Amino acid sequence: MAPLVAAFYFIYFALVGVHIIFIPKILSQVGYDPIQIGTVFAAAPLVRFALPFLFLRGFRLDQRTFFTALALMGGSASGFYPALESFWPLLSVNILFGIGLALVLPYIEVIALESIGKERYGRIRLFGSIGFIAVSLLLVEYLTGPYVGVAFLVAAAWVAVGLGALIGLRQRHARSSECTDERCRFGIGEHRMLWIGFFLMQVSFGPFYNFFTIYATDHGVSLQTTVWLWSFGVIAEIVMFYFQGPLLRGNLHRLLVLTASVTALRWLIVALFPGNVAMLYASQVLHAFSFALFHSSAIALLFHLYSARRLAQQFFFGISYGLGGFVGALGAGVLYQYTPSLLFVGGAAAALGAAAAFKRYRPL
């Protein structure tokens, strides 16, 4: 199972890379204005946030839903071709694509933790990081027109569908630890400080994901160097995924406090040394903690806390990357519009809030 899951992670995150790195540029090339592009991409995190609540109303992330999500992911990716130059069809296709992405990954994450274990999880998950950086370096050389990027998107989507289907078929004959009893409930209230921390952690990434390139180049860093800074962060992430196994055998709660605190330090470095390339590289080293170790610690802790494990993973992606990503993007936009010098100070404040929430959380 491990090689299949590794291959899926590689192609899934290559697909995500095409979508978030190149599709905005493609939309600009075909004539969309910034507000339209922003609207298209703001819909995805909102969908990711709203979707898990459906599962509290009787829906289940079972095999049937998983295979339906795979088909939706592939079909909606293909829909980018006819919809590319028409706003409302494009928005609709992108929402459906976001639903497919949001449903597929939590199912695979649970399979990975069940079949591989949290100690080996990072060494499989790092293939996703490799896929992300590989497609960014490859596609930039071949992006001669908007439909070239769409072709990459469609091809990656259908390869991901095939790999996901193979994993789903194999899992059908494997024993699952997922709770299917109606008495197995999912609740946020008893762990609310943990969920507040997840939300604030992703809010803190709003300045980075949405404005780092603009911020760095505005302070005299060349675009080429900025691209290498992005790549260096992913390399640090890959190294952490490979070596983090022993850390995950320890106290996961403490790791969350540590990673949030390190993330606050990271954003302060960016805020205080915006034009210092050496310090920016130092801040990117910390991506190993801010993303890789945080992500693995979070999903491993949820796997331990909840018997409704797929639903817990759904809410993790929905509340952190969904709602947190949406609020972080909006907040970063406001800061950069009116007080650009405080952009990453705001990110640091959110990360400190996450660290405080994790510190106040008391595991049951």
Are residues 299 and 201 part of one domain?
yes
- Give the domain extent around 332: 189-360
DSSP 206-217: HHHHHHHHHHHH
State the average pLDDT for the chain. 86
199-233 pLDDT per residue, tens? 999 999 988 887 787 788 888 988 778 878 888 99
Are residues 279 and 219 part of one domain?
yes
* 228: CATH: 1.20.1250.20
Establish if 141 belongs to a structural domain. yes
Q: Which residues, 6 or more positions from 253, have their beta carbon under 8 angstroms from its beta carbon?
A: 301, 358, 361, 363
Domain final residue, candidates 171, 203, 232: 171
Establish if 212 belongs to a structural domain. yes
Q: Which residues, 6 or more positions from 242, have their beta carbon under 8 angstroms from its beta carbon?
A: 122, 123, 126
Higher pLDDT residue, 74 or 305?
74
333 has a pLDDT exceeding 90: no
Domain final residue, candidates 144, 171, 198: 171
Establish if 180 belongs to a structural domain. no
2-22 pLDDT per residue, tens? 889 999 999 999 998 888 777
177 has a pLDDT exceeding 60: no
Identity of the amino acid at 9: Y
Name the range with the highest mean pLDDT among 42-51, 64-73, 327-336: 64-73
75-129 pLDDT per residue, tens? 999 999 999 989 999 999 999 998 898 889 888 988 888 878 777 888 898 899 8
Global confidence as pTM: 0.77
Are residues 301 and 248 part of one domain?
yes
263-301 pLDDT per residue, tens? 999 999 999 999 999 999 999 999 999 999 999 899 889
Q: In this predicted structure, what is the pLDDT of residue 17?
A: 83
189-203 pLDDT per residue, tens? 778 899 999 999 999
Are residues 194 and 78 part of one domain?
no
Are residues 83 and 208 part of one domain?
no
DSSP 220-270: T--HHHHHHHHHHHHHHHHHHHHH-HHHHTS-HHHHHHHHHHHHHHHHHHH
Are residues 251 and 332 part of one domain?
yes
Q: What is the total count of domains within the chain? A: 2
Establish if 178 belongs to a structural domain. no
Are residues 258 and 343 part of one domain?
yes
Establish if 177 belongs to a structural domain. no
Are residues 53 and 162 part of one domain?
yes
Domain final residue, candidates 104, 137, 171: 171
